[in-house]
Amino acid sequence: MAFVPVLSVVCAQCGEQNSELGVCCSACGSTLPSETIAPDPDETQPSAPRPFLPLVRDPRIGQSIGQYTILGVLGRGGMGVVYRARDDKRRRDVALKFLSAALVADAQAKARFVREARVLSALDHPNVGSIYELSEHEGHPFLALALYEGETLKDAIARGPLPMADAVRVVQRIAAGLAAAHDAGIVHRDVKPANVILTSSTQIKLLDFGIAKLLDPPTGSSVLTQGGVVLGTLAYAAPEQIVGEPVDHRSDLWSLGVIAYEAVTGTPPFHAKRRSVIASRIFADEPTPPKQLRPDIPEALTAIIHGLLRKVPDERIQRAAEVVARLIELCSSVQPGDSIRPRSGAR
């Protein structure tokens, strides 16, 4: 007997089960109900048959938008759609990220996207994905982004824990990218392995600032919600982020701690089938000590992970730059492991 997945919001348009926080279906882009964390169903409840809907070809595929020819869809998420496109002027492939139709209708959301994208376009760092330009097509703003060949950190971890030297290097480079963003007053809000690309040239890039938020200068924090939905990905969201409380750069540092834990152990620190259980564990539980799962983890790295996963923001490591400095120091004492060999793919 098939069972209903307990990570739910079901899209009324296509029947897709959406397990991540967002305002639009990850499959078809339709607006989701505002209540994203549904009551847990009885585990014995059989799944209802999914409605059959014919596949609808994305109308943008094949279109020429300015100097870009759209070739196909790279991914869909709560904030919009990312396409692979050919830059006919510069003869290179790029990623075009369009703000979702649901958010384009929100004048404030559209204005924020444009304002924040302009700030991000000025963020030049070797560990942050490059933004080429901000433009608009038929009232829909979009970003032209660098397209990286390689694989995501999520895919790399799916094969098992990373060699220790690689884990330290990856976390250090992500922290360096975050330090640059935070210095520019930008909170990423969705730091997770799926948003880190290991390129074919062994670079490490932090991507998808699509729900990034500029900190409000007077307070240094912001309530990060959109239409009653907390933005981000639950398994990597800080306690304060889940409940929609004001957050700042230290919420990104919590997410970095989750990534570090997962990179060295191969499993996330707060794992469960039910979203409500994941949220409860983030608030109340301490993860299994990484040393129990990975005996060769250096004590210094264990201390960094624990320092990032403090429930109270004031008790966490306070700056990404501190993480970078501590990991650079640690690198000299870690024996080299097999280098990460990214598999083919593009982001």
Q: Out of 10-14, 86-90, 192-196, 335-339, pick the least confident.
A: 10-14
Please state the pTM of the whole predicted model.
0.75
Check: CATH 1.10.150.20 for 150-331? no
The per-residue pLDDT for 123 is 82
Catalytically active residues, by annotation: 190
Residue whose token pair is 């152990």: 265
The per-residue pLDDT for 6 is 29
Architecture of the structural domain at 64-146:
2-Layer Sandwich (3.30)
pLDDT digits (tens, 9 = 90+) for 188-232: 888 999 999 998 777 999 987 755 565 544 334 433 344 334 445
- Residues linked to residue 117 through DSSP beta bridges, in sequence order: none
Residue whose token pair is 């409940």: 243
Neighbours of 77 (CB within 10 A): 23
Q: What are the two backbone dihedrals, phi and then psi, of residue 6, each rounded to the nearest 5 degrees?
A: -95, 10
Query: To the nearest whole number, what is the mean pLDDT of the chain?
Result: 78
Rounded CA separation 107/224 (Å): 17
The per-residue pLDDT for 46 is 40
With a cut of 80, say whether residue 38 has pLDDT above it: no
Residue whose token pair is 């097509």: 137
For helices 320-331 and 299-308, give the axis angle rounded to 10 degrees: 170
Rounded CA separation 99/140 (Å): 7
With a cut of 80, say whether residue 148 has pLDDT above it: yes
Question: What are the extents of the domains in the chain?
Answer: 1-51, 64-146, 150-331
Query: What residues contact residue 315 under an 8 Å CB cut-off, 6+ apart?
Result: none
Q: What are the two backbone dihedrals, phi and then psi, of residue 149, each rounded to the nearest 5 degrees?
A: -90, 135
Burial (0-12, 13-18, 19+ Cβ within 10 Å), 144: buried
**∠ CA(93), CA(142), CA(125), 5° rounding?**
65
More confident residue, 242 or 298: 298
For residue 80, name the pLDDT band (cuts at 50, 70, 90). confident
For residue 91, name the pLDDT band (cuts at 50, 70, 90). very high
Which residue type, as a one-letter code, is found at position 165?
A
**∠ CA(207), CA(212), CA(215), 5° rounding?**
140
With a cut of 90, say whether residue 153 has pLDDT above it: yes
What is the mean pLDDT of the segment spanning 288-315?
A: 95
Query: What residues contact residue 262 under an 8 Å CB cut-off, 6+ apart?
Result: 157, 193, 268, 269
- Residues linked to residue 145 through DSSP beta bridges, in sequence order: 95, 131
With a cut of 60, say whether residue 258 has pLDDT above it: yes
Does residue 69 sit in helix, strand or coil? strand
Element housing 291 (H / E): helix 290-293
